[in-house]
Each structure stands twice: as C-alpha cells, then as structure tokens.
Amino acid sequence: MQDSSPLELIRLADEEQSVSLRIIEGMSFSGSDRFDALRAEIVLSSGFVSGRVELYVNAYDLDRWAEALDSVEAGRKVTWLESGRSPRIMIDPTEHTESGCTEVSVYDVTGSQVLVTVPIATQPDWAENHRRLLATVKNRFPLQM
C-alpha cells in the first residue's frame, strides 16, 4: 500500500516563519503506473501573514527545481515555476538581501496576484537537504516525461 500522506518538496523555515511546498497526491490521466502531474500546495506562514495556494507540478518542474538548487547554492537569485501557469517561488540568497537572511517570495500570479516575501534564516546545508527531499518525491511519485 502506497503512503498517502503529503510529502514536502520544499521546506524553508526558521523559528518565526516558513515557506513549504507539499505534494498532496499524484495524478494519472493516462492510466499507467506513472503520474502525469503532482497536486501540491505552497504554504507560507509568519507572524504577520499566512497563506496557501494550490498548484500542479510535473517532471519538467522537478528538473528545474534541481537546477534552481544549484543556482541558489552558487549564490544566485532564482525564480522557480515561472511558466505563468502556476504560482512562482523566488529565492534570494543571503548575500544579496538587505535583511541578511534568505528572502523567499511567493507570487500567486495566476490567482490573487498577491506577492509575499519573508526573510528566513536558512541552515548552511539547506540545498543538500532539499536534494534529498526532491529524490524522495521522485521516488514516491514517478512521473511521465
């Protein structure tokens, strides 16, 4: 029996605020044993604002997430999911921000048009941890290419 609990792909958090992307379930439209898309949600929480937005990710998106991890680890800003069909997540590493923290923004470009940015004190090994989360998601939810 397959585990049906949500699985985190992204978890950027400190003691005060967080941004996460949770995979809710795999969606198969072709009837095969592989999934065509993953139903997910972005959850943002802080003492000032909290929000949640649903989206779908596919194999292409997961490959771009792996590339985004490489870019952020190299100290570059990244925007992930910028196709225009879903909310965007933007990550600005510590070296580039006024707050001295990694700034994570969620832009609900397809719905409310709301953009929220939260500073998060990330751990030095966060990219490595996210590569493990990505591998776990790909293992549990094999996607069609």
DSSP 21-59: EEEEEEE-SSSSSSBSEEEEEEEEE-SS-EEEEEEEE-H
Task: Write the CA distances from 9 to 12, 37, 43, 51, 126, integer angstroms.
Answer: 10, 14, 12, 17, 12
Cα gap 90→79, rounded to integer Å: 4
Instruction: Answer yes or no: are the C-beta atoms of 15 and 36 closer than 8 Å.
Output: no
pLDDT of residue 51: 94
Per-residue pLDDT of the chain (145 residues; tens, 9 = 90+): 456 789 999 999 999 999 999 999 999 887 777 899 999 999 999 999 999 999 999 999 999 999 999 999 898 999 999 888 899 999 998 777 788 899 999 999 988 999 999 999 988 888 899 999 999 999 999 887 7
